[in-house]
Structures are given as structure tokens and as C-alpha cells.
Amino acid sequence: MANHKSAKKRIRSNEKKRVMNKMTGTRIKSTMKKVFSTEKREEAEKHYKEAVALLDKSATRGRIHRNTAARKKSQLTKYVNGLSAE
């Protein structure tokens, strides 16, 4: 257990960051699943825009690495482009 004031603050701030990072990761996974679960191109493109915006924002804020965001966006783009325009 921490004894110094700064160490106690560090524990509090680390917990806040842990919760935010976990929440961001969960949101990214669920938005990507939305894209991959759709079969219609229009619906997939709508979810795709939402997912890309979330990935860009997360990478900018440092929650995920920018290369990870780029890789995930590439996967999503590849999937959406492969859908037929029904």
C-alpha cells in the first residue's frame, strides 16, 4: 500500500486510465464486429465510418498505437470493399 501522497495519486490516476483504456478497447471491438456482421454494403459503410472515426480518435489520444489503428482500418476497408452492392 502506498504511503506517500504522490503514490496514492498515482494509484488513482492509473485506475482511471485503466478503465478508459478498457472501455476504448471494448468499443473498438464491438464496432468492428458490427461491420463484420453485416452483409449489406450500405449498412456496412455506415458502421465502417463510425469504426474508422473511433480508431482515429483512439490513436490520436494514444489509447492504441497508430499502426494498430491503420491495420484495423485496413481490415475493415478490405471487408467493406468485398461486399456486393445489393
How many domains, the chain?
A: 1
pLDDT (tens, 9 = 90+) of the chain, 86 residues, equals 788 999 999 999 999 999 999 999 999 999 999 999 999 999 999 999 999 999 999 999 999 999 999 999 999 999 999 997 66
Q: For residue 64, which amino acid is it?
A: I
Q: Name the phi and psi angles at 71, rounded to 5.
A: -65, -45
Residue with grid cell 485503466, as numbered in its chain: 18
Rounded to two decimals, the pTM is 0.83
Identify the CATH number of the domain in which residue 10 sits: 1.20.58.110
Domain encompassing residue 57: 5-82
